[in-house]
Amino acid sequence: MPFVHLAACDRDRDVRKFWNANFTAVEFHDDITARDHRAAVARLGRPDLYFAGFPCPTFSSAGSGRGVQDPRGEIIFHVIAFLKVALPKAFVLENVCGLLTNHPETLQWVLKELKAIGGKAYEIDAKVVNCNEHGLPQSRKRLWIVGRLKTKIVTQFQWPEPYGCVPLAPILDKLVGTVGPQHAPPASQGTAQANLVKAFSEIGSLTKKNPCLVDAIVDIDGTKLHWMLDMSPCLTRHRCGIGGHWVTSRGRRLSTGEQLRLMGFKRSIMKVDSVTDRQLRLMIGNSCAVPVLERILLRLLPSVGLANDSAMKRRWESHAQATRSVADLKA
């Protein structure tokens, strides 16, 4: 649908390079903590829609755990400050579900502050959604918060209903040759080697099959072994950056293309030359799952009069649509 991209903001230099190569914003801000929100709104006008995926490491179980005591955790304060000034018709916020499980007091404060904006001007909804319930074979739970300006509401907002995911096979690159015991991490990666040996034992015991013939993905780099059949464990920034999880049926780590598809991205429509492969992988691990965001927007935009429900294209609304959409990601 046609839109005007008013502004974007990110401190990461590589993200800015990638963004500028692929998108056009009226303004790009390097640091939300240094932005004059009131002046920005005066220049650009009030946005209809605002989205923020504020930093998650301080709320994640794998991160510092310091919450808002970490400077990265304080970004949510600035997100709320902008919303108080901009008063968009709708907004979407996304973070790890650790904000709910590990820092419930912070989440309650955030929800309270959001509900108080503009003298209780917004209707707020929050839900943990896993993208493996909405088309993609990846276990990726995220907390989503949706806000709607009460004076603009025309219909009720309903969270998308889950329907499951497609198999992992269509996501993976084509198998070349055969896979055997010789396909393993190098000896220098002792933890990865040990984890893969243990995973093969567990997978073989469970499936009664040669693990090299099974589509399983193994997190081989952690101190605690984790693997999944026909699905990927969560793609984190760190794991993507160091090479990704191990694919047993391919005898290697996930390719960058596979990582992109596991998030719902189509590489052929991206300009990726502005960043290195590793920089792109890091961004993948920090991304939002496309089908989840798309399905939320399909319901959110019409509910505040920002789009015609019947005119919007649907790519991830059913298992059949997801099957076609995943196949298109390889095109």
pLDDT digits (tens, 9 = 90+) for 258-304: 999 999 999 999 999 999 999 999 999 999 999 999 999 999 999 99
What pLDDT shows up at residue 58? 55
Q: What is the mean pLDDT of residues 157-162?
A: 98
Residue 164, amino acid: G
Q: Does 1 reside within a domain?
A: no
Q: Does 2 reside within a domain?
A: no
Encoded tokens for 249: 């049926």
Q: Does 105 reside within a domain?
A: yes
What pLDDT shows up at residue 8? 93
Indicate left, alpha or beta for 187 from its phi (over 0: left) and psi (-120 to 50: alpha). alpha
> 186 with 264, same domain?
yes
Cα gap 286→61, rounded to integer Å: 15
> 313 with 295, same domain?
yes
Least confident residue range of 32-36, 135-139, 254-258: 32-36
What pLDDT shows up at residue 72? 54
> 45 with 134, same domain?
yes
Q: What is the mean pLDDT of residues 185-207?
A: 95
> 308 with 322, same domain?
yes
Q: 67 pLDDT band (50/70/90 cuts)?
A: very low
Q: Which of 16-25, 100-109, 166-175, 183-192 has the highest mean pLDDT?
A: 166-175
What pLDDT shows up at residue 56? 53
> 64 with 213, same domain?
no
What pLDDT shows up at residue 79? 94
Show the domain range for 238.
Answer: 169-284
What CATH number did the domain enclosing 15 receive? 3.40.50.150
